[in-house]
Structure 1
Amino acid sequence: MRLQGRVTHWNDDKGFGFVYPIGGGQKAFVHIKAFSQSSYRPVDGDLISYDLSSDQKGRYVAKDVRFAGGDAKLTRAYKLKPFGTIFVSMFFISLAIATMVFHLPLTLIGLYLVTSIVTYIVYAIDKSAAQDGRRRTPESTLHLLSFVGGWPGALLAQKKLHHKSRKMEFQVGYWLTVIANCWGLGWMLTTKAGYDFLGYIAKMIP
């Protein structure tokens, strides 16, 4: 007999939480791998249906988990999923056009690409550390990487790895770094002092 319950205490970094059955009863541990549909990440309050089982220690565990009446949520999540890829693609296309128009060094694009790759890797390492209970990468380090040009890689990591994508305080800080970085890029492209500074950076790179 399948039960219905609501997700609670969901930790998206680690990919697990608990479910309380509707109408009362024993709470059960639920892991992201137990969900039969993977296009939407659960959040606290989601209504799910599941089979109740137990692990080797006798603790209740939810198996074969499905979102109950969650088609609308799944559809919205699927539509929003390409946003990160589209946003980053448009940025690099715009950057390439600006490079040609303003005769900027190609190293500028290279800097964004390299920094983004490094940032993505750091996010992946932090995601793995969260799941394994190891020492985490400070959020200030993640924000610093975004600020210096790694924000495209950070955005893709958030969408692809589902890491730091639901923590509102972190998201506010992240988008502030995006705004600051883009403002800095605009300053370098539209002012003489900024353009000279950009040229100085380019000369420092072999």
Structure 2
Amino acid sequence: MTLALVLGVWLIHDGAPGDGPPPVGAAVVRASDTPAGTGQSSGGQASPSPESKPGNPPPQPLPPSAPTRVRIPAIKVNAPLAGLDLDPAGHLDTPPVGRPNQAGWYRNGPAPGAPGNAVLAGHADTRSGPAVFYRLGLLRLGDQIEVVREDRRTAVFTIDAVRTYPRAAFPDAEVYGPTERPELRVITCGGTYDKKSGYSNNVVVFAHLTSSR
């Protein structure tokens, strides 16, 4: 499903003073890298995903069920998820600024674990300090994201790529384009912060379903 979202408007007035969130690592930063899901880093070395290894077939997609919590062990995220809609201009709403440790899920798109491209979003920081996805740029290929769902199933995703894009040139088709297998995008702000224009970039994590429990 392709979404008409313009995520570069996030946090225009909500950044915290200081140096901003940690930047995306050099090994996974470039927007021109091999497309997500190929298991190849910007350095050119292949990194096979678990589902591509012999004797390990791709997991079966899960039926739709709304997510309730996201856990990212590598950066110590364990946060509740709330449904997000689009505003009148077609921009994705954000979780309330007063709840910096809450993340959101685009409720009109695929559910995490079901076929298609599920989208999670959250603040990097607010005026009060770091927020739920402050350390998102520190993730690496092969790290895992766990999404707990209302049906009590947990969808486990493995990260294929972590990228940063200029807000003014956000590649909607690449990030939100349709997929046949269950995939996940986790998005926040990054780059430099300006009081008038907000953050310069968006950080996007690309991941695919590798197991469920």
Q: Which has the larger radius of gyration?
A: 1
Structure with higher RCO (Cα < 8 A, 6+ apart): 2
Bin for the TM-score computed over the shorter chain: under 0.3
Instruction: Decide which structure has greater helix share.
Output: 1
Give TM-score, length-normalised by structure 2: 0.23
Instruction: Decide which structure has greater strand share.
Output: 2
Give TM-score, length-normalised by structure 1: 0.24
